[in-house]
Structure 1
Amino acid sequence: MTTKNEQQIVASVPQTGFFGHPKGLFTLFFTEFWERFSYYGMRAILIYYMYYTVKEGGLGMDKATAGSIMAIYGSLVYMSGIIGGWIADRIFGTRKTVFYGGILIMIGHIALAFPGGVTALFISMGFIIIGTGLLKPNVSSIVGDIYSRDDERRDAGFSIFYMGINLGALLAPFIVGTVGQEYSFHLGFGIAAVGMLLGLIIFLLTRKKNLGLAGSHVPNPLSKEERKSLFTKFAIITIVIVVLGIITTKTGLLTIDRFTMLVSILGIVIPTAYFIVMYRSKKTTDDERSNLIAYIPLFLAATMFWAIQEQGAIILALYADERTQLSFFGWELQSSWFQSLNPIFIVLLAPVFAWMWIRLGKRQPSTPKKFSFGLIFAGLSFVIMIIPAYLNGTTTLVSPIWLALSFLIVVLGELCLSPVGLSTTTKLAPAAFSAQTMSLWFLSSASAQAINAQIVKLYKPETEIIYFGIIGAIAILLGVLLFVISPRIQKFMKGAK
């Protein structure tokens, strides 16, 4: 996208109207609010639905298998962002891609709302994986479109947008989690579907007035000949994958363990290939190549961070269900409610961080240093979990305060890294790969969870101290290293603050 096009897009968006930010932020804020409500509501009860017994309304899976599937599911959700970014850049533009993604997500939740066993589970996962890949990276990319590159409100705007994400994630476990665990898992999944429907309605009713031209531009469109070739190849590849899937499943060659290992490998190979393709592209300028070099250590830091943060829905969810006292000062808690801790703290603290970055202005820490702080906090959030096991052993129930403290610490790191990472990605993205670079950012989560699919199998109550200690220590050491080399990274960030 040329500078002229960027200026035209920004000029078409009302630049005030939502807490001093562009009016389009309202549309994107509430679209993502309801999408995240649906996703995190489903996720709050999904692991319990998988390993609770059939008598309890679940599928009766092994806990280790359920944890591994959760990680792979999360990995594929973010990995599919590659498809979403490519479709937005080459075919539809980000705005249409967001809408189509929301429809697929809603269908996925509807599939889980009806009893269908393991088959319905995997069908639902397929729809939500593809739909989220279409929607999530592209709605964030549109946020970048409504600001000029030198607008000092940009980081604060992403922080507000990030608060919208977490407001949805905050409410969902209390509503969907309570209904799912107290009454019916399927009814809970149905509520998640309604949430996505509300997000689609808001997007349709306000996009024209609030977004102007944002999201309507196709940066690198396919020619007619390329489209014909693409659809032919897509049909052939789809048929081959379906046939191979049926054959390998029937013959026992494709097992859950082998599939998770395959996805774990792809979680490393795909982002590596992505960096290489963008770096070597003739459409990438010299300054953009320099920006990509700066982006690599930030991507690796984000992957380590998300490897810890995403275990909140797997290892810490198991910890909440099996190792935590669910009676607190006379209150009876649901284990799914702990999934609201992360967004609660973000909603409370995101405005503080947004204010802080604006207040500091040019004196705020550089992007690499913010990432290093995020890693250090993430490591501390795991190290703190050693204490209850050390003091009381691993066979007794612990106070829920320990989980709350762990979630609080990782949120401090998340607010240093995640909204800033979204903003930095839009700054460092090569023009010809704008939406795809946002997909690359979400690949850091995909890579993290692909790795988690192997790591979470090692967790058991008796290995808590080693598990939390080693992972936490690695994150802290990497955070310190990133802080030390941050001035060198900053030099490669051409044209970006």
Structure 2
Amino acid sequence: MTGEKKQKIVDSVPQKGFFGHPKGLFTLFFTEFWERFSYYGMRAILVFYMYYEVSSGGLGLPESTALAIMSIYGSLVYMSGIIGGWLADRVLGTSRALLYGGILIMFGHIALAIPGSITLFFVSMVLIVLGTGLLKPNVSTMVGEIYSEKDQRRDAGFSIFYMGINLGGFLAPLIVGTLGTEVNFHLGFGIAAVGMFCGLMVYIFTRKKNLGLAGNYVGNPLSAEEMKKFTKWMVLAAIVVIVLIAFTIPMGLLTFDTFIGLIGVLGILIPTIYFVVMYRSPKTTTVERSRIIAYIPLFIASVMFWAIQEQGSTILANYADQRTQLQFAGIDISPAWFQSLNPLFIIFLAPAFAWLWVKLGDRQPSVPKKFSLGLLFAGLSFIVILVPGALSGDALVNPLWLVLSYFIVVLGELCLSPVGLSATTKLAPAAFSAQTMSLWFLSNAAAQAINAQIVKFYTDETETLYFGIIGGSALVLSLLLFLLSPVIQKKMQGVK
């Protein structure tokens, strides 16, 4: 998208009206709030639904299988963002991609809400994966579109947007988690579907007034001939996938283990290919190529961070259910409630971080240094959680240890995630704006693809070693990134 079109979009959006930010931030804030309510509500009970016995309303899968499925599912959710970003850049535009994604997510939650077989469970997963791929990267891209590149409110705007994400994430485990674990899993999934419906209503009824032209342009549209080829290849690919599945599953070639391995390879291979394609594209300028080089170490740091943070819904969820005292101060605690801690801390701390970055202005740490701080806190969160197990052995641990671990990783998340969203919109090549945002979410996909390979090493006997190795690796990478930050900043070609 040209600079002239970007400015035309900014001019079409009312620039005051939501806490001193563009009015469009209201629409995107509440659309994403309800989408995250539905997603995190579903996620708060999904792993329990998978490994709880059928007599308790679950699917009765082995715990290790449930943990691996959870990681693979999370990886596919973010991996699908590359498809959603491409469709937005070349076919739909971000506005329509967001709308269609929300509809698919809603139907995915409805499928989960219907009691049925494991087949229906996997159908719902496919719908949610595809829908999130269309919605998630494009709503963040639209936040970037409503600000000019030099607008000093930009980072603060992303922090406010990020607070909306986490407000939905905080309420969802308390409401959906309680109903799902205490009453019925399918009732919980039904509430998640209602949440996505509310998000769609907010978006549909306020986008014209608040968002102006944001999301309406197709950044790099397909020509008529390219569209014909795209349609032909999509149909062909669908046929090939169906045929392969039909033959490989009965022959025993496509098993759960081989699928995990395949996703692990794709989690690394796809972003690598994307970096190469964007760097070599004739549509990428010399300045943009330099920024792509600067983006690579930030991407790697993000993978390491999310590999730790995303275990809050797998390893730490299991830790809450199996290793933690669930009675505290006379209160019976649901294991799902711990997943509200991360967004709860963000709700309180995000405004403080947003204020801090604005207050510091040009004196704030550079983007690479903020990333190194994020990794530092992520590593410390795993070092903290290994302590109670090492001290108490097999005894149930005080829930405050888990609270402390979630708190520390949130400090890292606020240094890295909203800053990464903002930096991605500024470092993205013009011809790949939505796809670069998809690439940012691919760092999460890569992290969870890696997690699917390593969760099998977590046992009661290896608990201390597991947390220690992963936490220590993050601390080492944090130091390395801090030392390289001046070089990375220079490659960013003026982006701060």
- TM-score, normalized by length of structure 2? 0.99
Matched, 1:419 2:415: no
- Residue 480 of structure 1 is matched in structure 2 by 479
Offset at residue 492 of structure 1 (A): 0.4
Residue 456 of structure 2 corresponds to residue 467 of structure 1: no
Counterpart of 1:11 in 2: which secondary structure?
A: helix
May I ask how many residue pairs the two structures share in their alignment? 496
- The answer for unaligned runs of 5 or more in structure 2 is none
Please name the residue that 1:439 is paired with.
Answer: 438
Report what 1:84 is aligned to: 84
Which runs of structure 2 are paired with 1:74-473 in the superposition (5 Å)? 74-393=74-393, 395-473=394-472
Deviation at 1:463, TM superposition (A): 1.0
CA shift, 1:236, in A, is 1.1
SS of residue in 2 equivalent to 1:47: helix
**TM-fit CA distance, 1:117:** 2.1
Deviations 1:90-131 (A, max 9, x none): 011101100000000001001110112210111000000000
Cα offset, 1:251, TM superposition: 2.0
Amino acid at match of 1:87: L
Which residue of the partner structure matches residue 26 of structure 1?
26
CA deviations 1:288-318 (Å, max 9, x no partner) are 0000000000000000000000000000000
Structure 2 residue matching 1:250: 3-state secondary structure: coil
Corresponding residue for 2:56? Answer: 56
Q: Which shifted more, 353-362 or 111-120? A: 111-120
Q: Which residue is equivalent to 1:493?
A: 492
| 1:367-388 Cα shifts (integer Å, max 9, x gaps) | 0000000000000000001210
Rounded to whole Å, the distance in 1 between the matches of 2:201 and 2:155 is: 27
Q: Deviations over 1:417-459 (max 9, x none)?
A: 0000000000000000000000000000000000000111100
**Who is 1:36 aligned against?**
36
AA aligned to 2:435 is: Q
Distance of 2:194 and 2:240 partners within structure 1: 34
For 1:119, the aligned partner's letter is T
Q: C-alpha displacement at 1:495, in angstroms? A: 3.3
Q: Distance in 1 between matches of 2:73 and 2:387?
A: 31
Partners of 1:365 and 1:344 lie apart in 2 by 25
Counterpart CA distance in 1 for 2:464 and 2:142 is 43
Alpha-carbon distance between aligned partners in 2 of 1:12 and 1:384, rounded to the nearest angstrom = 49
Which stretches of structure 1, 4 residues or longer, exceed 2 Å deviation after superposition?
Answer: none
Among all aligned residue pairs of Structure 1 and Structure 2, give the percentage whose two residues are the same amino acid. 68
- Letter in structure 2 aligned against 1:455: I
Runs of 5+ unmatched residues, structure 1:
none
In the TM superposition, residue 87 of structure 1 has moved relative to its aligned partner by 0.3
SS at match of 1:251: coil
Q: Does 1:11 align with 2:11?
A: yes
- 1:239 and 1:495 mapped to 2: Cα distance? 47
Q: Which letter maps to 1:488?
A: V
Cα deviation for residue 242 of structure 1 reads 1.2
String of CA shifts for 1:238-287, please: whole Å, max 9, x gaps: 01101211221122211111101100000000000000000000000000
| Residue 327 (structure 1) shift | 0.5
Q: TM-score, normalised by structure 1?
A: 0.99
